[in-house]
Structure 1
Amino acid sequence: MSDQQTFEVLIAGAGPAGLLLARRLAQAGVCVAVVDPLLDLHQAAFSSAALPLSAVKEFQLPAQVQAARWHGWQLHGPGDQQRQWMADHDLGAVLDFGGLRQWLADQATAAGAHLQLGWAVRGWCSAASGAIANLRGPGGQERSVACRWLVDATGQRRALLGDPPAESGALVAGSGVEWLLQLPLPQWNQWSERLSFMLGRAWVPQGYGWVFPMQPGQLKLGVCRLHDASRRQPPLHQLLSQLQLRLHLADAPVLDRHGGLIRSTIRRREPHQRGPLLGLGDAVSTGNLLGGEGIRHAMASSEVLAPLLLQALGGRPDALRRYPLQLRRRLGWRWSLSGRLARRTWLGLNSSAGDQRLERLLEGLQQKSSAEELSALLFHYRFERYGWKALPYLLGWR
């Protein structure tokens, strides 16, 4: 990337959202560049990355980025209870997150996008033709790049947009830690073909744990919880070690350790644009707090923004005014409800009353739901399938 280059679009962040947007723009003939401080897209690959099959098909994700398929659910807790829902066909996939980023990067560059790893946007300013972005490279070198539109795809850090103003609603934050384990195939088989979650304060207070299958012989073991400033919360690594011991996985070597944050507003009313700067993915709160999901919703934001940005590049910048509304419609009306449920559900798992509410809900799901219906609830927030009588339990009213 020379000091004199000018791009129509410069994207800060080579995550799934930024790379998918770059691919779509490059395929339309746009001169687009993506910069990211990582030197290797397989690094810092934190994401539980479990998707429903509908998302795998929607984004046409190839087998090479799918570490495993799953067709059931296994829920532990509260306490020692264990419940299972299994289908006779695949319901989704667990992705190799690093592999997904590399595949999207290869797709984007094949379409003509420029990818510069090891570089980060450290600041920007408006210019007559759009924006001037200040970049810093791996050796500390600096350069400026001109662009018509600058996209903040830096995730929950919001490195360019900054945190939303107070009137947009508070950012609700959660932390997660995940380990990649290696174990013998007979033991791995006990966890294969299903997504397993550990629920209740005896497992993870104010959060949840999970075990996801990867390729044969490897599992993801993780914990996540919402932040609660009013309560002292134990360290996540301590909870993860306890989880490993309780699930009889203590002897499994740890191949990788990683962690991350999720921060989203509940109502998603923050600004999506500031002059030539546009927000994408988690930078505009597409991370869903109920299931800790980010990938498919962030990629959906790219599909919403891409055609609007093409119209803006074609001389209709007013088209971008429709971006927040169209993204809200794409995410659906259940979005804000799921955020409120997340706050009530996870923060409420700190007492016997919270465990009892969860127990009543799980008993009802076990009696009335199939694996497919549970997927619709957890991935598509289809609360109405269970009748609105279930909501008081989720919201803590009963």
Structure 2
Amino acid sequence: MIIKEYDVIVIGGGPAGGQSARELSAKGYKVLLTERHKSFKENNFSSAGMTLDPLTEFDIPESVVGAYWKNLEVQCSKNLYSWKGNKSKGVVLDFGRLRQFLADETIKYGGDVLMGHTYLKKELISDGVIASFKNAVSNEVVQYKAKLLVDATGPGRRVMYNSLEDQPKLICGGGVEYLIEVEQKIYDKYKDSLFFFLGDEWAYKGYSWIFPMENRILKVGAGKIYIQVDKEDEFKGSVKKMTEKVIKDYLKADEYNLIDIHGGTLKYSPSIKDTFYKDKVVAVGDAVSTVNPLGGEGIRYAMQNARLASNYIDHYLKSGRESFSTYRKKWRNKHLLKWQLSEASCRRMYAKYTDDKIERRIGYIHKTTNIDSIIEMLFNFKFNKMITRVFEVYKLKLIYKFNKNPKVKFR
């Protein structure tokens, strides 16, 4: 039995889903935003570090900000490299409060929010689609009808694809994050920085981090792209062990208050080969690989993608004509090359480079870039200086080969 009809049902209350619901309800459409957890405080996984730009871009309020940062620091197995800023360069958001804000915005514009309901299945009908959900408490199954569904279920892609076999080839990763309360002197040391770890000593075949939140609260976590898993990897490099090693041996936090542990799985297509639209379902956010493992702004790109998708949904609801292939083309044209460069850098840094090579690469970047340049590379995927350096090295190699053998021909 169908309880209610909507123009759009957005399934998943993350940044992409919440922004989609916010955008569409603000345009005057009847929108239902659904979330499988009973509260946005649950499943609170996201390190949520970003630059200042998204605050203005998406009208994100101060109440969602956990802390401001002005420095970037990278600890390799041997050396610490710091880029210092003289003013705030970015923020660390409270991920749960961000999602709650987007849901509240949806309600403010006339939309509905359904919490504690898990998506089960969809049924395509002549004039729309029916979505079924199960209540997390009562196990009661309820149905809602819409003209379109938005798949914002993240890496699970549960709405777009009926099974794992239907999905494109995906790279898998995962992470864990501890939210801890520490002594004031420990917090003060890290309160102004996004702090990363690379190299086997602190981040075996992956990366770790320390991010500040409110006074005395730190986010400490580790992530990994599971390109290869072996016995040594399982013994030495689980994300949980990496995180706990940072807390114990680097922070030297012998006593701390563990507020929360949360974790998540990432599945993405390096070449963005996801399906963006099919059978009345539009995919957004992680369902179309908007997050990149190198360390950029996953939240910002998810919300940008949601905004773009909402424009094409608006066109469809007004005209009845589908133009979602253009939505896919426009997103890929803008991001594909940057994503591929970033993903290739990620693979080399996390899976192939030795500690010595990581030290040399980070050391070189530290010598040749200021904090604004490194922010552009990490968060906006602008690799101009890095690409220039690659060509310089290639040119030097050609010159060296030619000097050794003047008869060699290059094609």
Q: TM-score, with normalisation over the residues of structure 2?
A: 0.89
Note the C-alpha offset of 1:19: 1.1
Q: Distance in 1 between matches of 2:113 and 2:203?
A: 40
Residue 359 of structure 1 aligns with which residue?
359
Closer/same/farther in 2, CA of residues 203 and 152 from structure 1, 3 Å limit: same
The farther-off stretch of 204-213 and 179-188 is: 179-188
Closer/same/farther in 2, CA of residues 390 and 219 from structure 1, 3 Å limit: farther
Is 1:243 aligned with 2:246?
yes
Q: Distance in 2 between matches of 1:151 and 1:172?
A: 23
Matched residue type, 2:55: V
Matched residue type, 1:66: V
Q: Distance in 1 between matches of 2:127 and 2:298?
A: 33
Note the C-alpha offset of 1:386: 3.6
Q: Distance in 2 between matches of 1:98 and 1:320?
A: 30
Q: Distance in 2 between matches of 1:284 and 1:157?
A: 11
Q: How does 1:81-230 map to 2 (within 5 A)?
A: 81-138=79-136, 139-162=138-161, 170-230=169-229
Q: Distance in 2 between matches of 1:158 and 1:274?
A: 12
Closer/same/farther in 2, CA of residues 375 and 391 from structure 1, 3 Å limit: farther
Q: Secondary structure at the match of 2:159?
A: coil
Q: How does 1:345-384 map to 2 (within 5 A)?
A: 345-349=349-353, 354-384=354-384
The farther-off stretch of 374-383 and 323-332 is: 323-332
Q: Distance in 1 between matches of 2:88 and 2:296?
A: 22
Closer/same/farther in 2, CA of residues 216 and 156 from structure 1, 3 Å limit: same
Residue 291 of structure 2 aligns with which residue?
287
Closer/same/farther in 2, CA of residues 266 and 374 from structure 1, 3 Å limit: same
The farther-off stretch of 354-363 and 251-260 is: 354-363
Q: Secondary structure at the match of 1:206?
A: strand
Note the C-alpha offset of 1:166: 8.1
CA contact (8 A) 1:290 1:342 kept: yes
Q: Secondary structure at the match of 1:388?
A: helix
Residue 388 of structure 1 aligns with which residue?
388
Note the C-alpha offset of 1:164: 9.3
Q: Distance in 1 between matches of 2:176 and 2:182?
A: 19
Note the C-alpha offset of 1:3: 3.6
Q: Distance in 1 between matches of 2:392 and 2:167?
A: 26
Residue 261 of structure 1 aligns with which residue?
265
Q: Distance in 2 between matches of 1:129 and 1:12?
A: 19
Q: How does 1:36-47 map to 2 (within 5 A)?
A: 36-47=35-46
Matched residue type, 2:382: R
CA contact (8 A) 1:164 1:271 kept: no
Note the C-alpha offset of 1:383: 1.3
Residue 408 of structure 2 aligns with which residue?
none
CA contact (8 A) 1:173 1:226 kept: yes
Q: TM-score, with normalisation over the residues of structure 1?
A: 0.92
Note the C-alpha offset of 1:83: 1.4
Residue 318 of structure 2 aligns with which residue?
314
Q: Distance in 2 between matches of 1:243 and 1:163?
A: 40
* CA RMSD of superposed structures (Å): 2.1
Closer/same/farther in 2, CA of residues 230 and 261 from structure 1, 3 Å limit: closer
Q: Secondary structure at the match of 2:122?
A: strand
Q: Distance in 1 between matches of 2:150 and 2:300?
A: 18
Q: Distance in 1 between matches of 2:83 and 2:165?
A: 42
CA contact (8 A) 2:8 2:31 kept: yes
Note the C-alpha offset of 1:356: 2.1
Q: Distance in 1 between matches of 2:277 and 2:166?
A: 16
Alignment deviations for residues 351-393 of structure 1 (CA, whole Å, 9 cap, x no partner): xxx2222111111112111111111111112211244324899
Matched residue type, 1:108: T
CA contact (8 A) 1:176 1:259 kept: yes
The farther-off stretch of 230-239 and 15-24 is: 230-239
Indicate the percent of aligned positions where both proteins have the same amino acid: 26
Matched residue type, 1:76: Q
In the alignment, which of 304, 329, 339 is matched to residue 325 of structure 1? 329
Note the C-alpha offset of 1:165: 8.5
Note the C-alpha offset of 1:131: 0.7
Residue 403 of structure 2 aligns with which residue?
none
**Ranges in structure 2 where 5+ consecutive residues have no aligned partner:** 398-411
Count, aligned residues: 388
Q: Distance in 2 between matches of 1:97 and 1:310?
A: 27
Q: Distance in 2 between matches of 1:326 and 1:195?
A: 32
Q: Secondary structure at the match of 2:361?
A: helix
Note the C-alpha offset of 1:4: 3.1
Closer/same/farther in 2, CA of residues 390 and 221 from structure 1, 3 Å limit: farther
Query: Which is greater in Rg?
Result: 2
Closer/same/farther in 2, CA of residues 292 and 246 from structure 1, 3 Å limit: farther
Note the C-alpha offset of 1:228: 3.0
Closer/same/farther in 2, CA of residues 169 and 9 from structure 1, 3 Å limit: closer
Note the C-alpha offset of 1:169: 5.5
Note the C-alpha offset of 1:246: 1.5
Q: Distance in 2 between matches of 1:48 and 1:221?
A: 9
CA contact (8 A) 2:74 2:82 kept: yes
Closer/same/farther in 2, CA of residues 163 and 244 from structure 1, 3 Å limit: farther
Matched residue type, 2:180: L
Matched residue type, 1:128: S
Matched residue type, 2:149: L
Q: Secondary structure at the match of 1:243?
A: helix
Residue 409 of structure 2 aligns with which residue?
none
CA contact (8 A) 2:316 2:322 kept: yes
Closer/same/farther in 2, CA of residues 72 and 391 from structure 1, 3 Å limit: farther
